[in-house]
Amino acid sequence: MPRALLIVGIWVCALGSSAADTTPSIVLPTIRYQSDPLGKELFPRIRQAARFQQISQEVIGSPIELRVYQTLQLTGGGRASGTVSGLLAAGTLGILPQVYNADHAIVYEFVVNSTVVSAFSYRKNLTQARNVWVKDETFGLGKEGLEWARSTVDQFLRDSSGDAALAALLDEYHYYFDGPQAVANGSISTP
């Protein structure tokens, strides 16, 4: 009986892996990568994906650009607690920490000639206590927030793989840069 279960388990794993391999993946041309300091931390994880192998921070002249940046908006309570704890931190010369609460967002945007073609935004509410004398290595997110920011890379890769606007952009890119031969062979569709 255990042997039969093992064979069935191997068959199911093989079936599952072959289904995962057949999902369409968009292969991207050379893309310029622009980001804030947090985005520079995420760059190696993005580049590990097969379709982002040609992404570069130094490329010049690429019409397609991926911008990654962080935004935050203080909540009502975060504004009040930040003000009060900031005054207490200043009054105690930094002995007490400053506490604030904000809605953070990590934004991934595909931009062509200063026009946003496709955007993905991931949000989370974070509360952080920060000492004014300690250098923040977490880009204002805290340890939990930094782990969340790193996890957005996987979400972005998953969400962008089936994006219709990005697929249309790449069809147009290949039409103009690969020429009519690519359309004639059927390797791309016409825009």
Q: Annotate 18-43 with three-state secondary structure.
A: HHHHCCCCCCCCCEEEEECHHHHHHH
SS3 percent helix, strand, coil of the chain, rounded to 5, is 45, 25, 25
Show contacts of 50-59: CB within 8 Å, 24+ apart.
50/25, 51/25, 51/26, 51/27, 51/161, 52/28, 52/157, 54/28, 54/29, 54/30, 55/28, 55/30, 55/31, 56/30, 56/31, 56/32, 57/32, 57/33, 59/30, 59/31, 59/32
Contacts of 75 (CB under 8 A, 6+ apart): 101, 102, 103, 125
Q: What is the pLDDT of residue 135?
A: 79
Alpha-carbon distance 150 to 179, whole Å? 38
Q: What is the mean pLDDT of the chain?
A: 76
* 170 pLDDT higher than 60: yes
Look at 13-17, 97-101, 141-145, 187-191 and tell me which has the smallest mean pLDDT. 13-17
- Amino acid at residue number 6: L
Alpha-carbon distance 70 to 68, whole Å? 7
Q: pLDDT-based confidence at 82, cuts 50/70/90?
A: low
Alpha-carbon distance 103 to 79, whole Å? 11
Q: What is the pLDDT of residue 22?
A: 36
Q: pLDDT-based confidence at 9, cuts 50/70/90?
A: very low
Closest CA to 33 of 65, 1, 8: 65
CATH of region 33-185: 3.30.160
Across the range 95-105, mean pLDDT stands at 80
The domains of the chain are located at 33-185
Closest CA to 109 of 70, 58, 57, 150: 70
